Structure 1
Amino acid sequence: MLKALKSGATSYYPVFMFTVSSLIMLSLFRLGYFILFDERILAATDLPNYFLLGIRADIIQVGYFTLIPLLLFPLLNSSRFHHTWVRFSLLWFAFCFSVMLFMEVSTPAFLLQYDSRPNRLFFEYLLYPKEVIGTLWQGFRGWLLIGGITLTITIYSLTIVTKHLSHHLRARTPHHGVAWLLWPFIVVITLFGIRSTLAHRPANPAFFAVTSDAMVNSLLINSSYSVAYAAYNLKHEAKANRVYGDLSDEKVIQIITSEPHLQHAQFPLKDYPTVHFQPATSQREQPLNIVIILEESLGATFVESLGGIAATPNLEQLKQHGWWFENLYATGIRSVRGIEAVVSGFLPSRARSTVKLSNSQRYFYTIADTLKREGYHTEFIYGGEAHFDNMAAFFSGNGFSTIIDQDDFENPLFVGSWGVSDQDLFKKLHERLNAAEQRHEPTFTLAFSSSNHEPFEFPDGEIGPLEQPQHTVNNAVKYADHALGEFFSQAMQSNYWQNTLFLVVADHDTRVYGDELIPLSKFHIPGVILGADISPHKITAVASQIDLAPTLLSLAGVSAYLPTLGQDLSRSDIAPANRAMMQFGDNFGWLEGKDFTVLTTDKETHEFVYDRAKKRQLPSNKPLSPKRIERIQAHAMASSVLYEKRVYYVPKAMP
């Protein structure tokens, strides 16, 4: 039996050898990077984590390379085709090993230049070989020579080894029946290695974003994986929103920066055309801490005063203490859209959220980046896995110093499919704010809830259910509201209350559906700003999630350069913009007062009148002027223009 097993495994020797040699090679390079950046790596993580997570990431890439010959194996598992299998697998694995080696040899120079492993820039710059070769020769001549010599020696050695192994394996007679029995087990193990986790989503680069140092996070994966993932993301970065009009980039910028609420702003940077200085309306000796509580799927559907069911009594109470938004609208229907709009103030798009896209993983604006430059400690707290939806990678690369997720909660009250309960989340938030207050350290925190997420799990006995069975969206919302109320009861009695500005806002409503081009009522969300010296106030004008970041900064007393296009709603000298925008599939919506315009990808324009009381859209006979159409098209196209040009950022060298 042992002899037959050994004979059957003969066919898989190329797979085993490739896997082991690749993991050793990638680990040795990772050791080299540690020697180069040891202080920075040790400041961000410990050595066992650095290497073990690295091996885990390497297994993913190696698994992808081995999967192709493994899936072809059943077609070649016979005496007749055995020699073909041996030759093909050895040549394939020699090629894959060379690719990985080439990428690793190329990495040190890229790291020194861009503070990251090779990514999208790596293959973008292949379009400019003259400039790239000149740069490498002038600035990284040593690395270029070492890399070239190493690659040449390795390819020559692989040629000799492949020839020797081919001759050796072809001389052996494998047991094809046992090889058949081994095949499904090897394939399953390979697939598990590629997935790397039993969580809701397979591992991705964000899964390995475990530190606040984006460069160290990039070292945890390998360069082949980094470049392959960036290439994969290209399909989501097509000129998604340019389909709505034929305006030039210059015209788009000219229109969006000419909005009435930006009429007094100056835009001093040609290369960053939306960057302008926003003076704070609240003059404070010491700017306030800022806390954003992003509530999962808590739309107006559940808020009685906004026309929903009575599932959020605590949120209704909070509006008595601060600024309450009666007509606030989300930009999209996914959490990453809410993050993108609330934290970055970015306009909606048909493309995937900038939280996930490769060009926005570094040097993309967030409110955290502004506040970090002002001396704030910036952190993200989430009860689930922070790598989900690429959040950890996006945040760590764009201004967040600390990321706290499920693994950082000790003895949580409750753990469900999506992480610890909202009560655990708010307990952690309360602890962190207390600690920062004792250190007299200005703090910005983004706390993202997760209990109101299907399958709607939460601790028993905490609420009186609205309905049976217990695990429904209405009960989950009531629990989320209960946890929120508990937190603010504590917060209002805490020392940090008078120094802290809070925003409670939904990322989006729950499941969005409807037969309209855009089901506008499902984009309606609650929002309230409270804390410190904020007095009760109702904002009845139409507002968008993109207006929240500039308003928060102004109320907190932070004057700064911003690239955002939202309105500072705290300014009393400028009339409210009274507009909101949203993306639903391929349709872009623009709500201004009661007038609702929808753009479709065929460049058609649809006009409605929105009846808020009845939540109905009625056809409008009001003709659209060419100027209004152009204005809406410009805002629809702006996200693609700003993202593609990589200009939605405030450069460091500002006055």
Structure 2
Amino acid sequence: MTPSPQPTVMPRRLTPRSIIARGALLITAIFLLIALLIRAALLIQGRHDIAWNLSLLGSFGFGFWYDLLAAGYAVVPWFLLTLLLPPALWRSRAAPWVVSFLLLPYAVVFVFIGVAEWFFWDEFQVRFNFIAVDYLVFTQEVIDNIQQSYPMPLIYAGLALAGSAVVWMTWRVGAVRWVCAGDSAWKLRILPVLGIALVVVGASCLFSQSQLPRFSNEFNRELAKDGPYAFCAAFWESEIDYERFYLKQDTDKALVRAKELLTLSDTPPASPDPRDLRRVIKHEGPEKRHNIVFVSVESLSAAFMSHFKVNFKMRSYLTPNLDRLADEGILFTNLYATGTRTVRGLEALTLSVPPTPGQSIVWRPMNTNLFTSGSVCRSRGYDVSYLYGGDAMFDNMRTYFSRNNYRVIDRGTKPKSEITFQNAWGVADEDLFRWALQEADTNHAANKPFFMHVMTVSNHRPFTFPENRIDMPQGSRDAAVKYTDWCIGDFLEKAKSKPWFANTIFVIVADHCHGSAGKVELDVTKYHIPCIIWNPQLIQPRSYDRLCSQIDMVPTLFGMMNWSYTTRNFGQDVFSPGYTPDKERIYVSNYQKIAYITQGDFAMLKPKQESTLGRVDLKAGTITPDKSGTLQSRLDDTISLYQSASWLFRNGHLGAETDKP
């Protein structure tokens, strides 16, 4: 890079005197320009979902404000680095090269953020959020995933060229020389550092992303965010105190109402204590001692199965095995996941509790020896295990399941000879199901009933798997769905030849859908998932079409097995006589937003004691706001249930219960 001729230096009286302040202004200008280009690019990418109206002025106006706040944080490293360099260096002929050297990583990082935001929006249709924070914790998996999904050498080269181009432009317009023409005295360099420190601290205290106003179209609101600022906000707000940020009632009043809502005609309270939400599950006759294989499938939206007639012509060929199993077993057609991440699905399927704000309980402290599906089985002498195709340290799975007395089997526990194919996220699903067959064989040989929770990974980017399994090329979501479907069919076909098959119930259920964003604040169509309970020798085929939640699947399964126990969970046996139409309800969430839906009524709680009430169309996902005020009772019920669930966990009332009634 060859410096261009020196430009005319602007009069000092019109510009900052300090070299450090001038550099900060240059970095801020670069950041704001790239942020503007990112926002414009995302506008083009989301053009079919964005509302093209005057609210776009708000998207760009508020966006500029949050870009400016983010720029205040971005210049902090510049202040610290330049403060440490001696004045003699700034007065030397090398000063322009030093400035350029310091600007280059800034330019590369800014461009990298833009590229990352493009791909993140492409995957999730939002700016950086909790998902980005969670994934950054597990750097190795994310790096491997990126390397296997995208042509990284070309991207790295492109980033380097783009960053160099930005620095070259600063040379061409004379900005670098302008910076170096500033005064390098220590006094003038220290004062801006103190000033920016006050600005950053003040901005942190006075401004937050939650102050961004609501938009009629959520995509427009997402566009108004700044990616790095949104990332930091998500990091700091991952743990949300319900009592502080959400609408609430008197604790005892909330618990009493929650107890009324949870109690069915055939599940009486365990005690008269208003703070004791346990219920007695009682069945007449002997319990069935079936083995249980519980398969939670990565990102299996209901839309992928032809039974649900969503994009039928396009996707009817993706799940031939699951569609056949649906005809041979019990298919739940009106089932909804509680969240948008695997850890939410695991929380719902193991704990059967609503999705309280913030992170899943799988991630939180005090998640040891809880009342889980595994603890109910273990109290009956079952071997309880969790099988995962990836590394179970991801998403805190190993810690959570081992703390709750599951045996954890993952990629790290298996020798290389047991792995035929793997990518960033784990082994191929066929390897995972082979491990499941081995575990079942071992338990059967030991005359031990088993509860096995199997979590698949192949339906995850980079969507790669062994060759010659399906008639589609690798690398797409649809191909990964079809491969996982093939693996499930192959697994069950092999299981049929096993001596334990005749006494084993198989449950196949999604952990969440493959997408989460929509045009409304919380799009319920993005939570619609399938569940199949199957074994032709034990299960009579039927379709269950009533509304139910992911948290109901384990209680329903235990009810089918005639089990009696005292439950601490919020899930219901949807086949019980007490689960009448007026008791049908679902819980859905998106980290900060938590909703309760029953009989078409939609009540959502949000931070800052805000709420949304209306009537929801579950098929279309549209919400008609309640302007009459008739849904206040639904809002009260929503507060009672979520406040109680949060209170129970925080106060240690979700511990394992092993005594039968």
TM over 0.5: yes
Kindly state the Cα deviation for residue 512 of structure 1 after the two structures are TM-superposed. 1.2
Deviations 1:372-429, CA, capped at 9 Å, x for gaps? 1211111011110011000010001113134343441533221111111001111111
Question: Which amino acid in structure 2 is aligned with residue 497 of structure 1?
Answer: F
Say if 1:201 and 1:546 are closer, same or farther in 2 by CA, change over 3 A.
Answer: farther
Kindly state the Cα deviation for residue 529 of structure 1 after the two structures are TM-superposed. 1.1
Aligned partner of residue 441 in structure 2, secondary structure = helix
Indicate yes or no: 2:285 matched with 1:279.
no
Unaligned runs of 5+ in 2: 1-79, 87-135, 145-233
CA contact (8 A) 1:383 1:406 kept: no
Indicate yes or no: 2:319 matched with 1:317.
no
Aligned partner of residue 522 in structure 2, secondary structure = coil
Kindly state the Cα deviation for residue 446 of structure 1 after the two structures are TM-superposed. 0.5
CA contact (8 A) 2:520 2:622 kept: no
Quote the Cα distance in structure 1 between the aligned partners of 2:600 and 2:242: 27
In structure 1, the residue matched to 2:339 is 332
Aligned partner of residue 475 in structure 2, secondary structure = coil
In structure 1, the residue matched to 2:270 is 267
When normalised by structure 2's length, the TM-score is 0.61
Q: How does 1:92-111 map onto structure 2 within 5 Å?
A: none
Say if 1:272 and 1:201 are closer, same or farther in 2 by CA, change over 3 A.
Answer: farther
Question: Which amino acid in structure 2 is aligned with residue 343 of structure 1?
Answer: T
Unaligned runs of 5+ in 1: 1-71, 79-193, 203-231
Deviations 1:78-134, CA, capped at 9 Å, x for gaps? 9xxxxxxxxxxxxxxxxxxxxxxxxxxxxxxxxxxxxxxxxxxxxxxxxxxxxxxxx
Quote the Cα distance in structure 2 between the aligned partners of 1:195 and 1:243: 26
In structure 1, the residue matched to 2:247 is 245
Question: Which residue, out of 485, 493, 498, partners 1:489?
Answer: 493
In structure 2, the residue matched to 1:501 is 505
Q: How does 1:351-362 map onto structure 2 within 5 Å?
A: 351-360=358-367, 362=368
Q: How does 1:191-206 map onto structure 2 within 5 Å?
A: 198-200=140-142
CA contact (8 A) 1:301 1:522 kept: no
CA contact (8 A) 1:350 1:586 kept: yes
Say if 1:359 and 1:75 are closer, same or farther in 2 by CA, change over 3 A.
Answer: farther
Aligned partner of residue 327 in structure 1, secondary structure = strand
Kindly state the Cα deviation for residue 535 of structure 1 after the two structures are TM-superposed. 0.9
Kindly state the Cα deviation for residue 436 of structure 1 after the two structures are TM-superposed. 1.4
CA contact (8 A) 1:337 1:353 kept: yes
Question: Which amino acid in structure 2 is aligned with residue 528 of structure 1?
Answer: I
Quote the Cα distance in structure 1 between the aligned partners of 2:498 and 2:379: 27
Aligned partner of residue 297 in structure 1, secondary structure = coil
CA contact (8 A) 2:237 2:358 kept: no
Quote the Cα distance in structure 1 between the aligned partners of 2:407 and 2:480: 31
Kindly state the Cα deviation for residue 269 of structure 1 after the two structures are TM-superposed. 8.1
Indicate yes or no: 2:297 matched with 1:295.
yes
In structure 1, the residue matched to 2:532 is 528
Question: Which residue, out of 379, 398, 414, partners 2:421?
Answer: 414
Say if 1:413 and 1:566 are closer, same or farther in 2 by CA, change over 3 A.
Answer: same
Question: Which residue, out of 347, 354, 377, partners 2:354?
Answer: 347
Q: What value does the CA root-mean-square deviation take over the aligned residues?
A: 3.4
In structure 1, the residue matched to 2:433 is 426
Quote the Cα distance in structure 1 between the aligned partners of 2:137 and 2:530: 37
Kindly state the Cα deviation for residue 622 of structure 1 after the two structures are TM-superposed. 6.8
In structure 1, the residue matched to 2:614 is 607
Kindly state the Cα deviation for residue 642 of structure 1 after the two structures are TM-superposed. 1.6
Question: Which amino acid in structure 2 is aligned with residue 442 of structure 1?
Answer: P
Indicate yes or no: 2:374 matched with 1:372.
no
CA contact (8 A) 2:603 2:634 kept: no
Quote the Cα distance in structure 1 between the aligned partners of 2:360 and 2:393: 15
Q: How does 1:633-644 map onto structure 2 within 5 Å?
A: 633-644=639-650
Question: Which amino acid in structure 2 is aligned with residue 305 of structure 1?
Answer: H
Say if 1:574 and 1:407 are closer, same or farther in 2 by CA, change over 3 A.
Answer: closer
Question: Which residue, out of 478, 483, 486, partners 1:479?
Answer: 483
In structure 1, the residue matched to 2:391 is 385
Quote the Cα distance in structure 1 between the aligned partners of 2:610 and 2:235: 26
In structure 2, the residue matched to 1:26 is none
Count of matched residue positions in the alignment of Structure 1 and Structure 2? 440
Quote the Cα distance in structure 2 between the aligned partners of 1:449 and 1:541: 27
Question: Which amino acid in structure 2 is aligned with residue 430 of structure 1?
Answer: L
Deviations 1:337-369, CA, capped at 9 Å, x for gaps? 000001110211221110010121x13221111
Quote the Cα distance in structure 2 between the aligned partners of 1:507 and 1:483: 17
Say if 1:540 and 1:431 are closer, same or farther in 2 by CA, change over 3 A.
Answer: same
Query: Which stretch of the first structure deviates more once superposed, 324-333 or 575-584?
Result: 575-584
Quote the Cα distance in structure 2 between the aligned partners of 1:281 and 1:197: 52
Question: Which amino acid in structure 2 is aligned with residue 559 of structure 1?
Answer: S
Deviations 1:177-214, CA, capped at 9 Å, x for gaps? xxxxxxxxxxxxxxxxx999844489xxxxxxxxxxxx
CA contact (8 A) 2:240 2:357 kept: no
Say if 1:269 and 1:448 are closer, same or farther in 2 by CA, change over 3 A.
Answer: farther
Aligned partner of residue 605 in structure 1, secondary structure = strand
When normalised by structure 1's length, the TM-score is 0.61
CA contact (8 A) 1:279 1:554 kept: no
Kindly state the Cα deviation for residue 261 of structure 1 after the two structures are TM-superposed. 5.1
Q: How does 1:509-548 map onto structure 2 within 5 Å?
A: 509-531=513-535, 533-548=538-553
Aligned partner of residue 561 in structure 1, secondary structure = strand
CA contact (8 A) 1:281 1:570 kept: no
Quote the Cα distance in structure 1 between the aligned partners of 2:637 and 2:272: 22
Say if 1:346 and 1:197 are closer, same or farther in 2 by CA, change over 3 A.
Answer: same
Deviations 1:58-77, CA, capped at 9 Å, x for gaps? xxxxxxxxxxxxxx999889
Kindly state the Cα deviation for residue 623 of structure 1 after the two structures are TM-superposed. 4.8
Aligned partner of residue 526 in structure 1, secondary structure = strand
Kindly state the Cα deviation for residue 625 of structure 1 after the two structures are TM-superposed. 4.0
Deviations 1:555-599, CA, capped at 9 Å, x for gaps? 233322210111112313542532111112432222223333333
Say if 1:611 and 1:354 are closer, same or farther in 2 by CA, change over 3 A.
Answer: closer
Question: Which amino acid in structure 1 is aligned with residue 421 of structure 2?
Answer: F
Quote the Cα distance in structure 1 between the aligned partners of 2:657 and 2:618: 43
Q: How does 1:20-419 map onto structure 2 within 5 Å?
A: 198-200=140-142, 236-240=238-242, 243-259=245-261, 262-263=264-265, 264-268=267-271, 270=273, 273-280=276-283, 283-284=286-287, 286-308=288-310, 309-310=315-316, 311-360=318-367, 362-408=368-414, 410-419=417-426
In structure 1, the residue matched to 2:452 is 445
Question: Which amino acid in structure 2 is aligned with residue 472 of structure 1?
Answer: S
Say if 1:534 and 1:241 are closer, same or farther in 2 by CA, change over 3 A.
Answer: farther
Question: Which amino acid in structure 2 is aligned with residue 375 of structure 1?
Answer: G
Aligned partner of residue 354 in structure 2, secondary structure = coil
Deviations 1:271-300, CA, capped at 9 Å, x for gaps? 97222221247743x521122100000111
- State the identity %: 28
Quote the Cα distance in structure 2 between the aligned partners of 1:357 and 1:493: 41
Quote the Cα distance in structure 2 between the aligned partners of 1:556 and 1:596: 33
Kindly state the Cα deviation for residue 270 of structure 1 after the two structures are TM-superposed. 4.7
Say if 1:233 and 1:291 are closer, same or farther in 2 by CA, change over 3 A.
Answer: farther
